[in-house]
Amino acid sequence: HIHSPQRRAVCRRTVDFDMLGSCSSAALRAVNVGIRAGRAAQLRLVHTMRPEPHSAASLMDIGTRRIFSEEHDIFRQSVRRFFQEEVAPYHTQWEKEGQVSREVWKKAGEQGLLGLCIPAEQGGIGGDLLSAAIVWEEQMYSNCTGPGFSLHSDIVMPYISHYGTPSQVQRFIPPLAAGTSIAAIAMTEPGAGSDLQGVRTYAKRDGSDWILNGNKVFISNGWMSNVVVVVAVTDREATSAAHGLSLFLVEDGTPGFIKGRKLEKIGLKAQDTAELFFEDVRLPADALLGPENKGFYCLMAELLQERLLIGALAMASCEFMFEETRRYVMQRKAFGKTIAQLQVSPPAARTPSR
């Protein structure tokens, strides 16, 4: 598993194999153990030599932070190139249109950027969270907020992966990972935002089916979505609203499922955000995602990663803005100097008189 020339150089050993040929098996094992221990120690040394961002030339440099490996660096290079070549050149036009193209979703799927943390046996990539975090960061470093990849891959897909039946996983995960299908989650309502216990969208039983009524607002990926995880009340007699919520998989084109207008926003203009309406939408029994009346607990378990994701996106966005500011003040000239050279130093502290 040692790929780079640097690591191979670190781990190289000179061994007299003719001499080892006369050694006992126990001695050979001892030599092998010693070599492996030495290699592990020097690999750890190489790993700890990675600089933290504050010691690098740029906060966005590749090869920083000890939590990442060289394999992560190679992946980051490909992700950065993807956003530079497939997203950034078209983002201004997408902002005018209020959505990105479906082609960029398919290209992201072909590149292996969707469903990174979903197990391979379910149809995902089977990667780690750090790889997903690289996609989050590189999108912010490209200053392109349009593609809703992180919501799709690391907020919505885990619901299906963790709570879906085998048939639901088989049906939805592969096309979502391929980018041929786009996912959204519908929690927010006109009268219920972060307070999930205020949800009014209602699903009632009708034989083995469910009849869904209600509306959602501010739904990211909503306009382009092919499948939506919808939060709805299923037990109005529950002791609390938290005990009466369930999750449903609602597909685009289902009769009664209506997408309203794309909402105009002051930011994230290329990210489609829509109103969704459900008017007597008949859903089969297998549209229920997870246990009936346990949706609130599913949401509480998954929202932890959503908060982590939002924090990482915000930090990466701040890093990009810092580097843009630094580049500007180092290049922009006024009065014969760069702006950075015109920075006013604070006056020297004065010792107060007695």
Query: Would you say 149 and 135 are in contact if contact means Cβ atoms under 8 Å apart?
Result: yes
In this prediction, residue 351 carries a pLDDT of 56
In the three-class reduction of DSSP (H, G, I as helix; E, B as strand; rest coil), residue 45 is classed as: helix
Respond yes or no: is residue 306 known to be catalytic: yes
Burial grade of 300 (CB within 10 A; 0-12, 13-18, 19 or more): exposed
Q: Give whole-number Cα distances, 250 to 26, 204, 227, 291, in Å.
A: 64, 15, 6, 16
- For 41, the 3-state DSSP assignment is helix
Give the pLDDT score at 76.
98
Residue 219 pLDDT: 97
pLDDT at residue 191, as a whole number: 80
Name all contacts of 140-143 with Cβ < 8 Å and 24+ positions apart: 140/313, 140/316, 140/317, 140/319, 140/320, 141/60, 141/80, 141/83, 141/316, 141/319, 141/320, 142/80, 142/83, 142/84, 142/87, 142/88, 143/88, 143/320, 143/324
Task: Give me the catalytic one of 306, 319, 323, 324.
Answer: 306
pLDDT of residue 343: 81
pLDDT of residue 47: 52
Phi and psi torsions of 276, nearest 5°: -125, 135
Mean of per-residue pLDDT scores for the chain: 88
Joined tokens for residue 45 = 């040394």
Both tokens of 155, joined, read 């907020």
Q: At a CB cut-off of 8 Å and minimum separation 6, what does 3 contact? A: 70, 71
Residue ranges of the chain whose pLDDT lies below 50: 1-23, 25, 27-31, 35, 40-46
Q: Which residues contact 147 (CB under 8 A, 6 or more apart)?
A: 87, 100, 104, 105, 108, 139, 270, 271
For the chain, state the CA radius of gyration. Answer: 26
> How far is Cα 192 from Cα 176, in angstroms, rounded to an integer?
28
Residue with tokens 């879906």: 164
